[in-house]
Amino acid sequence: EAKNSDRGSYKLFNAELSQIVSSRAQLLLDLKEAVEQKQLTVVYQPQFCVQKNIMTGVEVLVRWHHPKKGMIPPSDFIPLAEESGLICAITDFVMHQAIHELTTHELLYRDIKRVSFNVSAADFNHSESCERFIANLSSLPGDWSVIELELTESAALLNLEGIKNVLDVLRQRGVQVSLDDFGTGYSSLNTLRLLPIQEVKIDQSFVKDIIKNKQDAKLVRTILAMAQALHLRVVAEGVETHAQANYLMSAGCEEFQGYLYARPMSIEHLVTFIRNLKQQRAQP
Ligand code: C2E
Ligand code: MG
Ligand code: MG
Ligand code: MG
């Protein structure tokens, strides 16, 4: 009897597993189609220096509107894209699209001084990776220091040498480099030591409980002290409440990104958002 029920659960497991495999395979097929048929869009999330009352930059985030399943979050398809190599086509699309939208609306350089893109380890895996980034940025009407690439430590770990070679070339042309989700990987310090990095982003998991959790608060203070010693800019991610923002400010953090200030938004909303900011600033 035990054997029978074992076999039963084995069968169930098998059926579930093959369903997962086939639904992932289907999702990958859909994603390929999405890239070809322009179902992907980009949104922008502003970042702020609250003390100086200025918008310091925007992070570009990809969105996928699936024709049948609706909105699929990046966390559900970016890993799949990374494993399959499709991420390169997505990165190319995201960079082209965002630069096109921002320049069409004349926001770059004037109103937006920094545009951050998320990049993956797989974006650095090919011999022509560097040329690809250069081609993607060549439509910029001005200098490349407005561009920042956000890389995670886990990505850096996968291909440190390859990534370093590409980043060194892009750095010489002005591109900035940020270490995303800082503190959540295995070798944050080694990555900082070896790659040409100007900014770290404190991961939202540290910010979330910063008021209640003494340990998280101490870790954030330590990251801020380290960043100051190394002359790195720090952006706190996932700031949702005034209490979190006030704590971070008193600890010396200067830049913020989170729902408290602005959610990711379309280019049309960004234009309006920036216009409203300017009007507010113009008022006494
Ligand atoms: P990330 O780079 O750390 O981006 C920040 C994520 O936090 C975004 O999620 C953003 O919408 C979300 N967020 C911002 N403020 C808040 C807040 O106050 N509270 C909370 N709970 N969340 C907040 P999103 O857009 O779902 O992206 C998730 C991740 O997917 C990104 O994390 C990034 O790792 C990846 N990703 C997004 N777009 C791209 C892309 O174009 N290329 C690549 N390679 N990865 C991307
Ligand atoms: Mg990011
Ligand atoms: Mg992050
Ligand atoms: Mg992330």
Tell me, in angstroms, the distance from the centre of ligand 1 to residue 264's CA.
9
Given this model, what pLDDT does residue 158 score? 83
Ligand nearest to the CA of 79: 1
* Positive or negative torsion for Cα 43, 272, 150, 128: positive
Could you identify the atom of ligand 1 that is nearest to the CA of residue 240?
A: 18
Ligand 1 atom 37: residue of nearest CA: 61
Given this model, what pLDDT does residue 5 score? 55
| For residues 213-235, average pLDDT | 95
| For residues 122-137, average pLDDT | 95
Long-range contacts from 190-196, C-beta under 8 angstroms, 24+ separation: 191/153, 191/156, 191/157, 191/160, 192/230, 192/232, 194/160, 194/164, 195/151, 195/156, 195/160, 195/163, 195/164, 195/167, 196/164, 196/167, 196/168, 196/171
| For residues 249-253, average pLDDT | 96
Q: What angle do CA 244, 246, 249 make, to 5 degrees?
A: 110
Given this model, what pLDDT does residue 1 score? 42
pTM of the model: 0.93
Given this model, what pLDDT does residue 10 score? 65
- Asked whether residue 207 carries a pLDDT value surpassing 70, the answer given is yes
- Asked whether residue 60 carries a pLDDT value surpassing 90, the answer given is yes
Given this model, what pLDDT does residue 188 score? 80
- Asked whether residue 2 carries a pLDDT value surpassing 50, the answer given is no
The better pLDDT of the pair 94, 159 is held by 94
The token pair that represents 262 in the structure block = 């602005």
Confidence of residue 9 (pLDDT cuts 50, 70, 90): low
Ligand nearest to the CA of 75: 1
Given this model, what pLDDT does residue 4 score? 52
